[in-house]
Amino acid sequence: MTCMGAEVQSIRVLLVDDHPTMLWGLERLIEGASPRMTVAGTASTFEDAQAWLVALVPDVVVLDMDLGGRSSLELLPVILERSGARVLVLTGGRDQALLDQAMLLGARGVLNKSAPAQQVLDAIEAVHRGEVWLDGKDLGRVFSQLVQGRGAPHNEHAAPDHARLTARERRIVGCVVEQSGGTSSAALADCLCIAEHTLRNHLSTIYQKLGVRNRLELYVYAVKHKLGSQ
C-alpha cells in the first residue's frame, strides 16, 4: 500500500524486439500509461538485451519470442539468472510447444502480438505482481506438462520431498494453493502476516527442498501431493 503523499513507483519495463515498428508502438503504449509504468530501455539483439539487464534493472522484460531468427528461449535463463525481472513473452507465432516451453523455463506469461493495447498493459501489471498471464486452456496444459515432467522418485520407499517441510513452510504452501498460485507476493505475505522479504526467503528454501523453480511449479507440486488440504 502506498502512503499518502508518497510518489507512485513506476513499473520499469525493458522492451526486447527486433522489429523497429513494434518497439516504437510498445514504447508509445507504455509512455501513455505513465506513471503506472515507464520504458526503462529497448533492445533488438541478444547482446543489447543482456547488457541492459544489469544496467537498467527492469522490473518486467517484454520479450519477443524470435530475435532475428534466433529463439528467445536461449535468453530466458540469462534474464532469470542476471536479474529479478519477470518475463512476459510477446509472440506472433502459434507454436504452442514453443510457448509452453517458455513458461516451463520461467516466463510469467505469454501474449500474442495481436492482443488489444489494454490487454498488453494489464499483462505487464499482472506479471509484475507475480501473477501468471495465460489463457485458462493454456494454463491447464502447462500444469499437465509440469506434473508429467516430474517423473517418479528414484526410490519408491524414500520419504517424499515435502516431508522435509517445516510447519511454517507447509502453511505457506497451503496459502499458495488457496490463492491458486497466482496472487501477488505482497498479498500472500499479508495473508500469512509476515513481511514480503521473509516470504521470499521461505519460498527460496521451499523451492530447494521440493526441487521446484518458481511458484507455478510449487502450485502444481502442492496440488499433485494434496498439500493444500493438510
**CA atoms within a 13 Å half-sphere pointing along the CA-CB vector of 163:** 5
Would you state the pLDDT for residue 184? Answer: 65
Write down how long the chain is: 230
Question: CA-to-CA distance for 129 and 123, rounded, in angstroms?
Answer: 10
All three cell numbers of 144, joined, read: 499437465
Cα torsion angle, 173, 204, 103, 224, sign? negative
Give pLDDT tens digits along the chain (230 positions): 333 344 558 999 999 999 999 999 999 999 999 899 999 999 998 888 888 888 888 999 999 988 877 788 888 888 877 777 889 998 887 667 777 778 777 788 888 888 899 999 999 998 888 788 876 455 555 555 555 554 444 444 445 677 888 888 888 888 887 765 555 677 778 888 888 888 888 888 888 888 877 777 777 778 777 776 54
pLDDT at 124: 94
DSSP state letters, 23-55: HHHHHHHHHHTTTSEEEEEEESSHHHHHHHHHH
For the CA atoms of 147, 149, 154, 156, what is the dihedral angle to 10 degrees?
20
Write the single-letter amino acid at 138.
Answer: D
**Cis amide linkage into residue 77, ω under 30° from 0:** no
Whole-angstrom distance, CA of residue 215 vs CA of residue 132 = 9
